[in-house]
Amino acid sequence: MSNNVIGVDIGGTNIRVGLVNEQLQLVRKETASTGDFQDGEELFRHVKRLIEKADLYRSADKVGLALPVPWREGTEILCDATNIPCLEGIHTDVIKRILTGYEVHFENDVNVVTFLESEQGASKAYHQSIYITVSTGIGSGIIVDNKLFHGAHGYAGEIGSMVISNHGKHHAHASLQPGTLEALCSGRALERESKRLYGNEATVNLLFDKYQRHDEKAERLITDWVEHFSNAIASLMQTIDPDVIVIGGAVIHNNPWLVDQMIESAKTKVFKHLRDKVHVVLSQFGPDAGIIGAGYMALKNDKGARTT
């Protein structure tokens, strides 16, 4: 048996499954739309089919499964799956039974990228770091003394629920509290606002295209986005005090110039002696970071050495 592993990244928009080798190269990838499934067991049965396609020659025996739910050692039942309700209440034994033939390793979806960036990527040189993803939703992972920090109940890093404004009370997604980072700054929030401004066919890409063309409505919206997101950056700097914040996800990968703007705004909101320590960098791993991170987690297979 080779040292290839399967990485599975279950996101709010897409399911991505890939064969990852020991050099962290993505050998083969299969995808599906998360919205195609209303039943959790059906979703994981399709994941098994995607695994069989990705691992065509059965060269892997481990699966790293990255899930958009709070996670800590000993978790057995998936809960608070805000962006994928059909995962709610599924027992991990059911998932293992569906993925029979593979040794399955579970972790929060953002945590696998956090761990990957900490050991192999943009925060490798630092002992204390935070990774933030801005995609369909918003989440983060926290590294303390080179170890993943899960918190007492597995909710550490759920910054999408951080209240950063009293605005947006009438526009929040039904499953989100108004004024939270995710309700105001996620890809889903940007798409909602784009449709509100430009019609039902509008997309996030259209919104940013309008911004680049100096459309006043788009400029006002993105200015507000930077203000809200920098509130979160400033709060994280002054509560967790990381060496570096790594940021990724589709919204940032497609618009990396946002990072410089949020840094400058955050500097005006932190303690004076923290201003030159607001260090925010782009993720080293791109759109496939979730797959690679899930596979890397399974490759390492040493949770006791990396979690707190």
d(CA 263, CA 22): 35
pLDDT value, residue 239: 96
pLDDT value, residue 307: 45
Same domain, 161 and 207: yes
d(CA 288, CA 212): 27
pLDDT value, residue 174: 44
pLDDT value, residue 303: 42
Same domain, 15 and 104: yes
Residue 171 maps to a domain? yes
Q: What is the residue-level pLDDT of the chain in tens, covering all 308 positions?
A: 468 999 999 988 899 999 999 999 999 999 999 999 999 999 999 999 999 999 999 999 999 999 999 998 889 999 998 889 999 999 999 999 999 999 999 999 999 999 999 999 999 999 999 999 999 889 999 999 999 999 999 999 999 999 998 865 444 444 557 799 999 999 999 999 999 999 999 999 999 999 999 999 999 999 999 999 999 999 999 999 999 999 999 999 999 999 999 999 999 999 999 999 999 999 999 889 999 999 999 998 744 344 44
pLDDT value, residue 167: 65
pLDDT value, residue 290: 95
Contact 42, 55 (CB under 8 A): no
How many structural domains does the chain have?
2
pLDDT value, residue 176: 55
Task: Supply the range of the domain harboring residue 244.
Answer: 122-282
pLDDT value, residue 172: 44
Same domain, 134 and 265: yes
Contact 12, 66 (CB under 8 A): no
Residue 115 maps to a domain? no
Same domain, 99 and 188: no
Same domain, 126 and 260: yes
pLDDT value, residue 305: 40
Residue 272 maps to a domain? yes
What is the percent of the chain with per-residue pLDDT over 90, rounded to a whole number?
A: 87
Residue 76 maps to a domain? yes
Which letter does DSSP use for residue 273 in this model? G
Cβ neighbours around 32 below 10 Å, total: 17
Contact 145, 21 (CB under 8 A): no
The pLDDT tens digits of the residues spanning 39-93 come to: 999 999 999 999 999 999 999 999 999 999 999 888 999 999 888 999 999 999 9
Cβ neighbours around 211 below 10 Å, total: 19
Same domain, 140 and 258: yes
Same domain, 67 and 96: yes
- Tell me the CATH number at 81: 3.30.420.40
Mean pLDDT rounded to a whole number for the chain: 92
**Measured between alpha carbons, how far is residue 294 from residues 20, 51, 241, 252 in Å?**
9, 13, 26, 21
Same domain, 209 and 144: yes
pLDDT value, residue 287: 87
Q: What is the pTM of this model?
A: 0.90
Q: Is 307 exposed, middle or buried (0-12, 13-18, 19+ CB in 10 A)?
A: middle
